[in-house]
Structure 1
Amino acid sequence: MSPAGLTPAKRAAITAIGFAGVLGAAWTIVAVLTSEHTSPKWLVLALMLTIGGSFTATGMYAWARRPDSWFGLQLSLVGLTTFLTALSASDDDLLFTLGVLVGSLSSAVMIHALLGFPTGRLRSRGERAYVGAVYALCTVGPLALLLVTAPAPDLPRNVLLVEENARLGDVIDAILRGGSLAAAIGAVALLVLRWQRATIPERRLLAPVLWSGVATTGALALSLAGQMLDLPGRLLNVFDFIGLFLFGSIPLAFVTGIVRQNLSRGHSVGRLVSRLGAAQAGRGAASLRDALAIALHDRSLSIAYWMPAGTGGEGRYVDAAGQPVALPRPGSGRSFTEVEREGRKVAAIVHDGSLDEEPELVQAAGAAAALALENERLDAELRVQIAEVRASRARLLDVVTRERRRIERDLHDGAQQRLVALALTLGIAEQQVGADPEQAKALIREARDEARLALEELRELARGIHPAILTDRGLRPALEALASRAPLPVALADVPEERLPPPVEGAAYFVVAEALANVAKYAEASHAEVIVQRLNGHAVVEVRDDGVGGADPASGSGLRGLEDRLSALDGRLAVFSPSGRGTTIRAEIPCAS
């Protein structure tokens, strides 16, 4: 993110840090050059200005570059606390004491920043406990030592001294040295463990800063160990100089990492472009994925293709085979970058979470591969459509099979039983014609009633398959008959008088029939409205109710069957059902003009 993307609050904070850095540098110059107990002044001044200034400036740049990361702020705080250390160069008793008190704070902030890189956030309870212990060691420890220890006679007075106790001071000093050594070794161990657990993309990002931090904390550990072992002062000075040099190299390592990222970005995108030609020649999604994985140095990379709403359902992501995929959630260690082309969503590159720290690289790779991703997306969309057609065909076959079985069952339980009874009655009547004509006539009348009932049942059965009124008189009379049988008031509006193609009329009729059945069963509505219009070569059917809403189109087989019926005619079905605001079912069916 560019500085232009900063919030006003963070922009003001960065400005304040810059102002504080200038004041800190000015104070350091004055304090060191006027000090009567600091030597050699120019070396101390050069080290403090270099370390404090580089950390502060680099931190400001890092925070402006990644406003959502706290690492830049932490780097700046390392620089500002380094300037605070210059207070110990003052000849004023209070300022000198304050400088000694905060002298180790910059090391604690540095360790915090190293363990939190690149987001500035610690990842585990163990890391948080360790960093808390380091802060306590670097603040409570010096305070305890100042309470019982007097400085050398040529130094300013310790204003925090309560009562001098050399023996207790030696114990506290030994604890501080041992704790500092343990903290330095712990930092090295945690940083190395972080490297071992990192993915390849994470290692590319971590390498410059992490190994610079390992070297710095390692040098600090050597210096502390040397002091505890009472090594010669000249050797300890060498350790201290190396430690300060490495400490000051951390901002340089960060900047070097950014420069390397920028150079690598151009190289990676260039290689990606050259590989895309080979991937397209192979016409394989795997080849495209491999090209992106190599460019982004992420073997785990995958691609999800965007299927817009209307392609087999609501808009969603699918894999190359057309199967739905879920994008990674925050905190999962995985992330994704969406790719657009001409303002349209094309795909999402699913990658290692560490690549969020290199958004320019991922976005550049996505832009370079956008055309190839669009082609693969179209292939995936075709697979989705083919799979949906196959599934629809299977559902239609299942519906036909179930409908056939229902008709067989209804015929067996209804008309067939009546016809069997009719045949038996006529047989008995035939036997009674000569012996008892009146009984025969009664049986014939009974047979006639059975025939009439069988005929009514057959007509009712036929009406469920395809209403005769729809075939004979058209859609409007059929819908009027349907509305008259509904258990709630149904208003018909704008139903055209002219006939539509039979398949269209049939589809429209069954949309209304299913919708009204659902209204009666679930909607708790007081009335419904049916609208049928011809718009732009389509028959548009809408059924609205004033019920409770909240209908789930995926929960019932009736609407799914309608979707399949409409899909066979290249039609579409949509359901709008906000909770508490009723339901509208809308079908669009292409028809001849």
Structure 2
Amino acid sequence: MALLVLGVVAGCSFVVAGLVTRAQVPGGHGGGLMAGIGLLLLLAGLTYIPGRAAQFLGNGFGWVALTLLAHLVLAIPEGRVRSGALVVLLYGGMSASLVVWAVDGPRPFAIAVAIYMWVFGGVLAGALVWRWLVRVPRPRRHTFAPVALAGGVMVLTMWMRQGAGIWPDGSHASSAEPMLHLGALAALALWPLAVLAGMLRARLDHVAVARVAAQVDRTPEALEAVLATVLRDPSLRLVQGTDGPPPVGAGRSCVSLGSGEAVLVYDAALDADPALVRSAAAIARLVVENERMRAELAARLAEVRASRARIVAAGDAERRRIERNLHDGAQQRLAGLAVTLGRIRVNDDGKLAGLVDEAAAGLRDAMAELRELAGGIHPVILTEAGLGAALRSLAEGAAVPVAVEAPDGRLSAAVEQAAYFVAAEALANVVKHAGASKVTVTARVDGGLLRLDVRDDGIGGARMDGGGTGLRGLADRVAALDGTLCLESPPGQGTSLRAELPVQERR
């Protein structure tokens, strides 16, 4: 009864595993063959029905199932038996065994057939081990391992059992046959489970690749390492920018990633699972495309920064030109008019003295305003003495007390100008809006940055996006130098305007 139950379990396990394999691999023939073997194993249960005919049919179905099972094992992993000699040995041995088994009475060739069965069972088991170690590529060994292990045990025990069942005296049992029969059926019932375990491990590979899809922010180099680990293919390479055909040798395959010349080169054994290759290629394609877009974005940002810096530099150059024109042009002409008015007064008889004095006073005021305007456009002291002197000069002319702490060293002209105009705009806003009683201006170089901080004790409430354009313009100027501008102005607690600018000290 135990043998019958095990036989039914083995047959059902083959049928179920075959149907599952057929559903998961629609284009393959292994699933249908497994299901057919399962049906033959169920029909082999006729052996336990009394009567010569039932036993003959049951054993015949068992022999055919065993032969087809050996054929299926030999076809792993390519799906076909590549050696014609093995096919001849397999089906020739089955035919001879059937003839010997069908003979009643003495069997003069039974010992030879039994030895053949044992030897061929060992050959089948050895073929499985050899295929796992040599023929099956590394990326597929983990899925083939349970099939090879369980299949080797199953084939060896099944064929040894069949060989033990043929003896010259006409009996169908030796002392070892019952134990071999029980072990063979147990191994037979477990082998389909090993096949399903291999399919499950292959499915887990798909899950692992899908998890990699959540990491498309990786660099191509990092993705290459992850895919090589997940797919168990240490030779996998993500090749970009190749000139001509990709480096694909024997046993290698590649798939284009559709982004320039990028290709994914991998072990050809992975082609046995096209869906897995497509998933890996899709992820690699996303990463390569993201990397390309990041490179383009970085290039465009660099171009924008360079253009902003050029705009700021052009504006500064224009300010210097206007300052020079005012100094060399309008101021010189006004100075000439002052000299002329002085001569008129000296030569006058006294009638025009009052008018000349009035005109001279107005001229002096105009010249003072013009000098102040020219200094605001581009202060000469900033160019000649540097940021520290310019900030102290700015504080001296402020309408509120200003304490300045600034270095005397020179920095690049662009950084000094940006810092100066930040301080000038902040002091102008203090006078106009803050109602402050004191202001502190601190500038220091720390860690490759110029840190400028303008603080007041006024009413606060200032905003970067307020009605004026001064702070927004300063933010653009600072950003053009890869710097930052930060405003903190809680109501009733004063205002702090901080600028950080990358610096290169002037030598």
Could you tell me the TM-score, scaled by structure 1's length? 0.43
Q: Which has the larger radius of gyration?
A: 2
Which structure exhibits the higher relative contact order, with contacts defined as CA atoms closer than 8 Å and separated by 6 or more residues? Answer: 2
**TM-score, normalised via structure 2 length:** 0.50
